[in-house]
Amino acid sequence: MGKQGCVYLVGAGPGDIGLVTAKGYQYLQQAEVVLYDRLVNPLLLEYASPQAEFIYCGKMPKKHILRQEAINDLLIQHGLEGKKVVRLKGGDPSVFGRVGEEAEALEQAGVPYEIVPGITAGIGAAAYAGVPVTHREHSLSFAVITGHDKSPSGEPLIDWHALAKGIDTIAFYMGIGNLPHIADQLISHGRSPDTPVLLIQWGTTGKQRTLQGSLANIVGKAKTAQFKNPAIILVGEVSEIKKGESWFESKPLFSQHLLLGRASDEQSAIGQHLRDQGAEVFEFPRMQLKKNLLKETDIPTDKDLLFLSPASVDVFFASLQANKMDIRHIQGDFYGVSPKTVKALASYHCVGKEMSERDPHASTLVILGDSEGIDREKQRYSFVFDQDFIATHTYTRVPQTLQTFRRLQEEERIETIIFPNVRAVKTVTESFQECGESPENISMYAQVICFGEKSKQAAVKAGYSVDKVLSEPTEKALFEALLQKEFSLAAAFS
């Protein structure tokens, strides 16, 4: 009997990748196939398995990449093949996400499934705009309404009288195209023209944009501001709670979309700190580590060892364990190329030193690192023979990361590129070229920041126009550069 498949209908939340539930994140990591919608933040795809197959099911008004029937067929096909399938939907799959139709199709085909709820946009986007959808003094009821439906005109066919007179706060989804009809119907069925209205576009993301008005004037304001979907129309007294920037919009790096160059499989601490300050960060390209466990005869026991990264430390100690070798057989001293690497040695209860502490006249040094790092260090340590270098691992690019880049590019969310080192310039540029992009074209719409002169020289040689070189290669200097007016991309919509 073959392995049984299962389809997980997962709510991805309204945009912020931190709003996915723990269960949704777990299933995404385990998925062999991921079918995702247009309103799913592409950055979520970076957390799927490197081996997962991605299928884009984007839907726009009057334009469908895959029709619903085809999506149902794919879910059934992969489920019957015994695969773990995640159907990733923006917001909550049960709120205008057509999860009922997909669940019914799976049920009829005998494919097991689970529904994993998510945070719906009407609540999440409002909260990120600083507005609670209920409030003891302003709103004791809340309703979510589709802003367009299957009627010939696309205008929602609902009980307007009950809605206008009986519900305090109303969230219309994807209704900007029908905003005049919605405002007219609410007013004509008894809602005051002075009722506050808040429009929230791309809620909970760095592209979040808001517009306040009333039922009487919101149509004109939205037209002037060229407001478009995806957006929530929030009608009710609670909308007036928003005064200026919300807690989310006031973060120092809000609305900045950063591509942080990456050269290993480790996520950057800098990347997380930038996210904490409100930036949307794409660490690109995503890399996968392949270990080259050493044979016992290849493990040096009587020479000093220089580790080029924490990963090389991990592979070395994994090799000792695989060969059942006692650490006491290693007679040489341990060195790390960076404080982070020295710290990795300490995690194995070994004392590591920085290279500055080593006697330059000491015995032969053996350098352990990834294959590309070894090539770089061979040039630096050209006086050392080739056999004194050991490749502990290699990095390969995860193919799906290119799909994430393309989706972000289509949504105009590649605005600033950061090169922390020379190696990142190489890996990023190769990935761009695989997507059919050139450094020259990227530089026309994205600003480029380099940590130092060496990374600048590499970037210029590759074809980029470099806009800024940090005063010092630190996180603090990067943060200050991003805060400068010429690097603040916040405000196209402020």
- Reading the block at residue 285, the tokens are 């390209």
- The partner residues of 393 in beta bridges, in order of sequence, read 291, 370
CA distance 36 to 57: 6
Pairing outcome for strands 196-201 and 231-235:
antiparallel
Q: How far apart are CA 422 and CA 46, in angstroms?
A: 23
Residue 325 annotated among the catalytic residues of the structure: no
The string of DSSP codes covering 379-409 is HHTTTS-GGGEEEEEEEEE-THHHHHHHHHH
Catalytic residue chosen out of the listed positions 37, 92, 304, 370: 37
Question: How many angstroms separate the CA atoms of 44 and 204, rounded?
Answer: 14
Give the amino acid at 157.
L
Q: Which tokens go with 312?
A: 């090389």
Cβ count within 10 A of residue 412: 11
Reading the block at residue 379, the tokens are: 């040039």
Could you count the other beta carbons within 10 Å of the beta carbon of residue 358? 14
- Paired with 396 in beta bridges are 288
Per DSSP bridges, beta strands 196-201 and 209-214 are: antiparallel
DSSP letter string, 98-162 = -HHHHHHHHHHHT--EEEE----HHHHHHHHTT--S-BTTTBS-EEEEESS-SSTT----S-HHH
Beta-sheet pairing, 231-235 with 169-173:
antiparallel
Residues contacting 492, CB < 8 A, separation 6+? 255
Give 131's contacts (C-beta < 8 A, 6+ positions apart): 198, 234, 238, 239, 241, 242, 246
Non-local CB neighbours of 95 within 8 Å, separated by 6+ positions = 120, 121, 122, 144, 173
d(CA 191, CA 175): 18
Task: Single out the catalytic residue among 16, 84, 89, 174.
Answer: 174
Asked about 355 being catalytic, the answer comes back as no
CB atoms within 10 A of CB 209: 20
Question: What residues have CB less than 8 Å from 447, skipping those under 6 apart?
Answer: 415, 416, 417, 467, 468, 487, 489
- Inter-CA distances, 33 with 12, 49, 101, 205, Å: 15, 9, 20, 25
265 labelled catalytic = no
Which residues does the annotation mark as catalytic?
Answer: 37, 59, 174
